Amino acid sequence: MKIRAYFGVLLALAMFAVACGGDDDGGELGLVADGTLTVCTDVPYPPMEFEDASAPGGYTGFDIELMRAIATDLDLELAVATPGWDAITSGLANEAGDCDISAASITITEEREENIDFSDAYFAAEQSLLVGDDSSAGSLGDLDSVAVQTGTTGETYLASNTPAGVEVKSFEAIGDLYLALSAGDVGGVVTDLVGNQGYVDENGGAKVVETYATDELYGFAVQEEGSEELLAAVNASLAKLRDDGTYDDIYGEWFAG
């Protein structure tokens, strides 16, 4: 009888431990850190994501603040990691456990969906051409060279739409595009309009002279396997933030007018 009672207590304790584990945010959503939504991003890309020492965790921007609102809705803290664009879009960052989800102005494409799963779309985008303030160029055909980030939809656009005689120079980091423009190494920069306009607003000395309608939609990205519950929770929270006006408030803060 004592032996039965002993094993009965052990069984009860085991069942209690399992039950408690089911209430843990990390267990339910498969988070890399309990109680925290860890987000991978690629900076600097104002106004979408960039470093800000005065912001919680050191990062802010439209993507980051929208993810912060989603984390708050899920009763989670927010942490930010910056493993690099290729690691984010290939899914390696998620697989390596660098983050739970990526928010980096990532256009939803069939090619990327081979490696990562996307949330519902949360932002519409188009491509654009940025040149220096003193440039007389009004279109791609007026340039000798143009910079683009490797592995982006801007690079895809240029692959089919670059006029003859224009050299396309690809860079791994988004910040290098603007450094090349400032140094005179290229005549222009092609990337999403929100990024190019963000650069103008933040730094000046440049202007957007052309836009290209590409019907792009941004989504948050998660690992293909094992992220179903997290993706469902994020989509539900995103819908809630749209319905209660929080999304519009965040949008208005970063895109006034």
199-to-128, 131, 150, 246, 256 alpha-carbon distances in Å: 12, 11, 18, 25, 16
pLDDT tens digits along 60-107: 999 999 999 999 999 999 999 999 999 999 999 999 999 999 999 999
How would CATH label the architecture of 2-122+219-254? 3-Layer(aba) Sandwich (3.40)
Q: Is the pLDDT assigned to residue 109 strictly greater than 60?
A: yes
Q: Is the pLDDT assigned to residue 189 strictly greater than 60?
A: yes
Query: In terms of Cα–Cα distance, which of 31, 56, 51, 26 is closest to 41?
Result: 51
Torsion on CA atoms 134, 138, 144, 147, rounded to nearest 10: 80
Neighbouring CB atoms inside 10 A of 10's CB total: 10
pLDDT tens digits along 110-141: 999 999 999 999 999 999 999 999 999 999 99
pLDDT tens digits along 194-230: 999 999 999 999 999 999 999 999 999 999 999 999 9
Beta bridge partners of 117: 222
- Compute the residue count for the chain: 257
The burial of 121, by beta-carbon neighbours within 10 Å (0-12 exposed, 13-18 middle, 19 or more buried), is given as middle
Q: Are strands 101-102 and 36-40 parallel, antiparallel or unpaired?
A: parallel
pTM of the complete model: 0.85
Of residues 109 and 16, the one with the higher pLDDT is 109
Q: Fold match between 2-122+219-254 and 125-216?
A: yes
User: CA-CA distance, 167 to 139, in Å (whole number)?
Assistant: 14
pLDDT tens digits along 148-185: 999 999 999 999 999 999 999 999 999 999 999 999 99
User: CA-CA distance, 180 to 233, in Å (whole number)?
Assistant: 41
User: CA-CA distance, 129 to 147, in Å (whole number)?
Assistant: 10
How is the chain split into domains, by residue range?
2-122+219-254, 125-216
pLDDT tens digits along 241-254: 999 999 999 999 99
pLDDT tens digits along 5-52: 333 433 343 333 333 333 345 568 999 999 999 999 999 999 999 999
Residue 245's pLDDT is 98
H or E segment to which residue 170 belongs: strand 167-171
- Cα torsion 31, 35, 41, 47: sign: positive
Q: Report domain 125-216's class.
A: alpha beta
Residue matched to tokens 């224009």: 166
Residue 28's pLDDT is 84
User: CA-CA distance, 162 to 64, in Å (whole number)?
Assistant: 33
